[in-house]
Structure 1
């Protein structure tokens, strides 16, 4: 079994896309049948999508996601346009060198530096 889809809802798709693009994602616009326009990025076999906030009020705010990145310091620096994003600054942990940031909607995003050791 592998994860193939993650969907987050956002009050401002463009601002959310800018945030995740700072981390290296590249989005394309999609619309399926009569559904809402949304943004989609391919991540090594998994599709990461940003949908507009639902009119019925359903939210993904409690969802926490994580990305492996080549450099925590570079990833955090790339978020310079989002100065309030840093929840937990880069530090060593049992899971590796990591930081926790929050996207513009408040979703917590764990960033873990990819280790070059076997």
Structure 2
């Protein structure tokens, strides 16, 4: 059996990313391991989601990775994200996977938000 337990994104906009992902329901702590860089870490039911600074030789964050999260209330989540100035790429729509919208995080990464209507 395989289980995903770590996702790390790198950014030069850590505080903006913490606000964005906190809106989705992730609670972060700010810390570092040994001599490594300070970063933010949150736990999602056994998955560690971390926001690290860009490496010194990087000029921009990777925006090709697409992330997806299940949220309790899609409309309320989108409303809060819009107040932060977040761009909605795909308006909410009912799909076979649930009620889905796509937004962009502070770096421009596409993030799929799904409200599972079957409870």
TM-score by length of 1: 0.90
Counterpart contact for 2:88–2:102, Cα < 8 Å = yes
Is the contact made by 1:30 and 1:37 (CA closer than 8 Å) also made in structure 2? yes
Aligned length: 117
Tell me, in whole angstroms, the C-alpha distance in 2 between the residues paired with 1:42 and 1:98. Answer: 23
Instruction: Indicate if the aligned counterparts of 1:85 and 1:104 stay in contact, CA closer than 8 A.
Output: no
Distance 2:61 2:87 in 1: 19
**Does the Cα contact within 8 Å between 2:86 and 2:105 map onto a contact in 1?**
no
In structure 2, what is the equivalent of residue 63 of structure 1? 65
- How big is each residue's C-alpha offset from its partner over 1:26-66, in whole Å with a ceiling of 9 and x where there is no partner? 11012111111000010001000000112121743211110
Question: Secondary structure at the residue paired with 1:80?
Answer: helix
Contact kept in structure 1, 2:90 and 2:102, CA below 8 Å: yes
**Two-structure CA RMSD over aligned residues (Å):** 1.5
TM-score (structure 2 length as normaliser): 0.90
Runs of at least 5 residues in structure 2 that lack an aligned partner in the other structure: none
Alpha carbons 1:69, 1:113 under 8 Å: kept: yes
